[in-house]
Amino acid sequence: MKFCFKLFFIFFIVSFYSCTLGSVKEEELRQHENIKKAILNSFRNEVKVYIYPFKNNTKTEDLNYLTNALQDLMINYLKTLETETMYVPFDKVNITVTPEIDACFQIINTIFTNYITNIEVSITQYQEQIFTNETISITTNTNIVETGDKKKKPLRQILLSFSTNTNLLVVTNKMISNIIQTNTNLITKEKFVELFKKEFIDLTNEICNLPISIQKGSPDTESNASQPFYYFNVYGSFDLLSRKVGPNELKVNVTLEEYSYRTNKSSLSIASREDLLSEKLLSFLKTTRNFILNKPTGDIIIHTEPEDANVYYDGTFIGKSPLYYPAIPAGKHQFSFLKQGFQHTVVQADITKDKTNVITKSIEKMRIGGIVHINSSPTNANVFMDSYYIGNTPIVLSNLTMETYHRVKIQPQETNRNPFYHSFVIKSTNQEYYINASFSEYEGSPTWLRKTLWYSVYASWGITLGYVGVNIYAHYMKEHYLDLYYSTTNLDYADKASYYADLYENSNTWGLISALASLGLTAIALYNEEVYLGLRWNGPSSISTYIAFQF
């Protein structure tokens, strides 16, 4: 018995030590997360690219449409930047100790003691009183002059003079009401940068790669003093070179200005026919993307067989094949090709910097075939195939894409019936697939019943745990009094040992009964919540499928 007590004591000490270490570790993680959140809130900058309307330098009013048309064209070209990020070197990030960051170090038991300095400060509280004495005097002088005329009515002239004499006296009394001596934790910018590099190096990627936002610029935007720390301006103008019967010959000037940790400017001047401007302006896209992304890039040329496939770069549409697209960040990227009647094709490409990378891909034509019969009881249920509404039951579908998972949703018209979801694959052109859904009325359990059941579940498991505690206590007390009886032969100890032995057996029995009852109540509560854990085979409705082949 003494060995059991020693074992229990060792177990208690180990558990207490583990809990203490766990709480300390949890406090460290909490402080670490608080500072991490403060860093992200303080330095989560955004790069804004303002694209302004182009200036019409001609005197031709019928070219005014180009003012906004060229602006919209540049926005469409640069819109893909919103899925990318601009790189800013870490030493160029505007890192300061913001009040939110400083507050994280003011706790008493901070774990970052190596980076802070505790200093004594004196806080002086002032009380101010303001007295105002205001005197206003008003002088009014009115003169009335009458002129008589026998043939005319008398005329009154009123001359009014108004003077104001104001004496304003303001007296301010300032007095010290309280002086507090205390300590505070001071963290300098140098120490904070050191802390960041050692403890939060994983955040470097987040604060050095800034999201990009493309926005329309206006004169109000240009004069706004509260610009973001990183922003670009794109603007331009156009002149008329020659007027012809067909499209006019134009000269377009485009300028990109950067305002960030550096200041750059790039300009492009092109001469083009009016109908070819969109192609000519693509030459400015490479310069613009390289300026804004500020990272190693490479160009791509994409060919597909057949041509005219939609091309997606990391999920963003960039045009139709064949396609040239400049300034893709170096590294691995995903390119997808979509064309009506052809399979969705995905290519992983590793873009090499400072090179023109060529991607050539053949797209296979979709294989179609098979017949799908969809029925339901009751009928007239809505049928959705791959998220598209295709009609109501009964319905027959044919020429589906083969070797591809199709998902069917059968939604009954009645609100008290649950919808069905089913997935299938057509593997042969002569395959017939039958889906039969049978709906029955189902009413969920009322809220009061579900709450009552869950309260019962919590209570029953509480009672079960109580029995477990009593069982453990009775076992150790029985062993304790048996050891005392064997060492002293005192019959009182034998009676107490017998009492705890009976209590141990009874708690075993009732604990087992309570556990079984708790499991039953839990199963009933889950059943009423419609959570069956795979144990319910026949629900309120059912669905059956089978496959047939035509030969």
The CATH-assigned architecture of domain 296-364 is Sandwich (2.60)
| Residue 224 CB partners (closer than 8 Å, separation 6+) | none
Q: CA-to-CA distance for 477 and 485, rounded, in angstroms?
A: 12
CA distance 504 to 520: 24
Residue 304 has pLDDT above 90, yes or no: yes
**DSSP string for residues in 193-251:** HHHHHHH-GGGHHHHHEEEEEEEE--HHHHT-S---SEEEEEEEEEEEEE--SSSPEEE
H/E element, 148 = none
pLDDT greater than 80 at residue 460 = yes
Q: Is the predicted pLDDT of residue 54 greater than 90, yes or no?
A: yes
Domain 368-438 fold is: Immunoglobulin-like (2.60.40)
* CB of 233 closer than 8 Å to CB of 257: yes
- Mean pLDDT, to the nearest integer, of 215-233? 72
Average pLDDT over residues 451-457: 88
Q: Report how far residue 48's alpha carbon sits from residue 509's, in angstroms, rounded to the nearest whole number.
A: 71
Tell me the average pLDDT across 218-247.
77
Q: Tell me whether domains 296-364 and 368-438 share a fold.
A: yes
Using CA atoms, how far apart are residues 268 and 241, in angstroms rounded to an integer? 17
Q: Regarding predicted confidence, which is higher, 206 or 473? A: 473
Mean per-residue pLDDT of the chain: 78
The mean pLDDT value for 162-191 works out to 60
Q: Give the pLDDT of residue 146.
A: 44
pLDDT digits (tens, 9 = 90+) for 104-162: 777 766 677 777 776 665 656 556 666 555 555 544 444 444 444 444 444 444 444 44
- Using alpha carbons, list the distances in angstroms from residue 158 to 8, 66, 143, 375: 109, 63, 5, 99
Q: How many helices (H) and strands (E) does the chain have?
A: 10, 24
Are the C-beta atoms of 440 and 540 separated by less than 8 Å?
yes
Two tokens at 373? Answer: 């019969």
Q: Is the pLDDT of residue 23 over 70?
A: no
Backbone phi and psi for residue 378, each to the nearest 5 degrees, phi listed first: -70, 165
Q: Look at residue 180 in the predicted model and tell me its pLDDT.
A: 57
Domain residue ranges of the chain, discontinuous segments joined by +: 26-116+188-293, 121-186, 296-364, 368-438, 447-528
Reported as a pLDDT band with limits 50, 70 and 90, residue 484 is confident
Q: Is residue 380 over pLDDT 70?
A: yes
3-state secondary structure of 22: helix
What mean pLDDT is predicted for residues 357-374? Answer: 88
**117 vs 104: CA distance, rounded Å:** 14
The answer, as to whether pTM is greater than 0.75, is no
- Residue percentage of the chain with pLDDT more than 90: 21
Residue 109: per-residue pLDDT: 64
Q: Which of 105-114, 270-279, 382-391 has the lowest mean pLDDT?
A: 105-114
